[in-house]
Chains A and B, each alone.
Chain A
Amino acid sequence: MSTSSPVRRAGAFLRLALCTSFAVIASTASPALAPATAAPDFTLNVMGGKNLHLKDQRGRVVMVNFWATWCGPCRQEMPQLNRLFEKYRASGFVLLGVNVDDDSSKAKEVASKLGVTFPVLLDTDKTVSKLYDLTTMPSTVIIDRDGKVRYIHRGYLTGYEDNYEKQIRELLK
């Protein structure tokens, strides 16, 4: 077997590209939202209702989940979040689902199909998404009773909801 010179060159080029490309992985800057900082306040319209202000939730443990109808992992996560909402709402837990679709009617359709009971807020002009500097879809932020950000979860994989439950219980004490 003999690889001719242009192919050997191509192979070496690819090797170099590969090694350098992995150096590029850690390229994005760290997100602005960090634990132990005050959660930025916002006001959004609740699907089928009036406006909701985040600061009015002070005294309760708040979980803000950013989702979209076009995001597969988001749709997977929502029934789990609904289960947590139903389980802990009486103990002072509130779950706000912030939807970032351009078309809010799609959000209404998917939310009702998934049987969601927690409030769904509409962020069609993406102001709150920008405010919370989302780097992944879905993103879940857990805020304690004093309005401070305690946990930030980026993305969703099966099993994450167990972590959420542990953290909610800890903050509810």
Chain B
Amino acid sequence: MNVRAASSIALLAAAALLGGCSWLPTIKPIQPWVKPYERERLADPIMKLSRDSLPEKHFEHVRDVREGARGATGVQGGGCGCN
């Protein structure tokens, strides 16, 4: 119950700040501060969170079999942001 309330409040606050929900009183929305033409370094493959899927899958399997902890391995983001 507490987790639900806290997470709803946090998300609504984030939505208000980003100007998403029109019915919420919007605090002046924050503008993205990294422009698309400034993403040269982020577009480099060296900055990718996950570069080669097969080798990473192998590492994940080796660890899953031997270690008790599992999960939360990753999501892709960043990159050139084109299109």
Contact = CB atoms under 8 A, between A and B. Distances in A.
Given a CB threshold of 8 Å, the question of whether A touches B is answered with yes
Nearest to B38: A126
Contacts of A71: 43, 80, 82
A137 B80 contact: yes
B36 interface: yes
Contacts of A20: 11-12, 14-15, 20
B4 interface: yes
Contacts of B74: none
Given A16-B8, A17-B11, A28-B31, A136 B80 contact: no
Contact of A100 (B15, B32, B37): B37
Nearest to B1: A9
B44 interface: yes
A101 interface: yes
Contact of B20 (A12, A27, A155, A157): A27
A74 B82 contact: yes
A70 interface: yes
Contact of B3 (A13, A21, A29): A13
B contact face: mostly helix, strand, loop, or mixed: loop
Interface in B15-48: 15, 18-21, 29, 31-32, 35-40, 43-44
B81 A27 contact: no
Interface in B28-81: 29, 31-32, 35-40, 43-44, 80-81
A134 interface: yes
Interface of B: 3-4, 7-8, 11-12, 14-15, 18-21, 29, 31-32, 35-40, 43-44, 80-83
Given A16-B11, A24-B20, A138-B82, 12 more contacts: A13-B3, A13-B4, A23-B15, A27-B18, A28-B31, A66-B37, A71-B43, A72-B82, A136-B82, A137-B82, A155-B82, A155-B83
6 nearest interchain CB pairs? A24-B20, A27-B18, A155-B83, A70-B43, A20-B11, A129-B37
